[in-house]
Amino acid sequence: MSKRPSTPIYSSEVYLMACKQFDRAADAISLPEHLRDRVKHPRRAVVVSLPIRRDDGTVALFEGYRVQHNLSTGPAKGGIRFHPDVTLGEVAALAMWMSWKTALVGLPYGGAKGGVIVDPAQLSEAELERLARRYMRELLPFIGPQVDVPAPDVGTNERMMGWMVDTYSDHVGHLAPACITGKPLSLGGSQGRREATGAGVAYLIARYLEDMRVPMAEATVAIQGFGNVGGEAALALVRRGARVVAISDFTGGYFNAGGIDVAKALACVASTRSLAAFDGGEPITNEQLLTLDCTVLVPAALERVITPEIAPRLRCRLLAEAANGPTTFAADRWLEENRPDLEIIPDVLCNAGGVIVSYFEWIQNLENYYWTRDEVLEKLFRQLEQAREAVERQRAKYKFSRRLAAQTLGIQRVADAKAARGLYP
């Protein structure tokens, strides 16, 4: 076990959860004591005050963070979250998971995450633009194509990445698209980036259902969260022949045994920003959705929704963790011991499609040479498949759960790089 206690600035349930996962994985691979603290603790955290002018002329101040967990294996990489419940500890946990994820899928990156405490729905478009630009402005010394490359996450999108690229570019004096990924195509975004995370989730679900000998046409799917990841995963799964029977967002859930009309639900969100007006299913609670009798459950919203109370009531056969950290440490241990029949695709593998195509976008920006959507998706699935096979080999070799296999692979690679670099001076 790592001896150095975690610094209290990160103190939060979700950071504790990421640390517990790390400690367990480090024990499982007997990670040398002298490396543990270096690999586990975030390299640096930046806290910024973000004053913006409201449309009514008043000034409002928001707080933002960027945690760079690992910079030893390449530029830091990770999304920016705009959400009222963001904490420094949550951002640190998400940054830690980014480190294991980029290492697991073999990307030349470290891990980072950013966040701003704000409910974007309470701001006008112009206010949101000022806040996104101010966030980038404050972080300028810590961002850059070879330093840290942010991307969208919960509450942020392509448009906001466009404003951030513009702000960064203004300051360096030329268009610098490689400073951020998930941008609009017109600013050097990649074909396939918008759908990458959801398409990757659907690809992995299809591969695991094959192993389970469940035909796609017989699979029913429930998805919690209908934003970028959940919405695109739903679309990709329907295209692959599955039946999406339930979806949800912060307004609640919607169930339709005959299959949700995903295109209609997406159109509803595009025009009204939520599913509140969706009339294609009967209302259910998020708890009912999580415990639905279905083939595949896809949490695609926030962390820690599968708790020790929910875990014994899960009725799915495959749990595909599209969100980061949806299953608490205790719930995960309970499932490992009591539900050997339940297949889990852990977050660091399941949602890695997003960062893989972000990497493709960064390469295209650096080379100024752009790929077609087919090329992007083909390379994406190949890279996900390699990561999946590596996880399955690690699992078979050490008799680990799939989560432990994925995390130990990522952690070992970061540890190897730190050991090889040595300590300076």
Residues that bind ligand NAD (CB under 6 A): 152-155, 197, 224-230, 248-250, 286, 300-302, 322-324, 351, 354
What type of residue is 368?
Answer: N
Q: Which string of b and e fits 182-192 if b means at least 16 CB within 10 Å?
A: bbeeebbbbbb
The residue assigned the tokens 């994925």 is 406
The residue among 33 and 385 lying less far from ligand NAD, judged by its C-beta, is: 385
Residue 59 C-beta: closest distance to ligand NAD, Å: 26
Q: Considering the complex, state which of residue 286 and residue 408 has its C-beta at the smaller distance from ligand NAD.
A: 286
Q: Which of 164, 160, 165, 154 is nearest to 197 (CA)?
A: 154
Check the CA dihedral 362-364-370-374 and report its sign.
negative
Query: Whole-number minimum distance, CB 370 to ligand NAD, in Å?
Result: 20
Torsion of CA 203, 207, 209, 211, to 10 degrees: -170
CB of 191 to ligand NAD, least distance (A): 15
Nearer to ligand NAD, 219 or 323 (CB): 323
Please, what is the minimum distance in Å from the beta carbon of residue 47 to ligand NAD?
20
Contact of 43 with 116, CB cutoff 8 Å: no
Q: For residue 119, what are the CA distances in angstroms to 62, 80, 93, 200, 312?
A: 11, 13, 20, 28, 33
Q: How far is CA 138 from the centre of its chain?
A: 24
Tell me the residue nearest to ligand NAD as measured from the CB: 227
Smallest distance from ligand NAD to CB 302, Å: 5
Nearer to ligand NAD, 162 or 227 (CB): 227
Q: Kindly tell me which of 188 and 299 has the beta carbon lying closer to ligand NAD.
A: 299
- Strand pairing of 111-117 and 220-224? unpaired
Nearer to ligand NAD, 31 or 88 (CB): 88
Note if 20 is an active site residue: no
**AA identity, residue 310:** I
Report the DSSP beta bridge partners of residue 53.
Answer: 59
Burial profile 271-296: b = 16 or more Cβ within 10 angstroms, e = fewer: eeeebeebebbeebebeebbbbebbb
**Catalytic residue (choose from 101, 113, 264, 399):** 113
Nearest partner of 84 among 113, 63, 66, 53, judged by Cα: 63
The minimum distance between CB 248 and ligand NAD, in angstroms, equals: 5
- What is the C-alpha to C-alpha distance for residues 41 and 46, in angstroms, rounded to an integer? 14
| In the complex, least distance from residue 301 CB atom to ligand NAD, rounded to whole angstroms | 4
Residue 377: which of 193, 210, 160, 213 has the closest Cα? 193
The smaller minimum CB distance to ligand NAD, of residues 263 and 396, is found at 263
Distances (CA, A) of 145 to 142, 168, 322, 354, 361: 10, 11, 26, 18, 12
The dihedral through the CA atoms of 391, 324, 260, 288 has a sign that is positive
Catalytic residues: 113
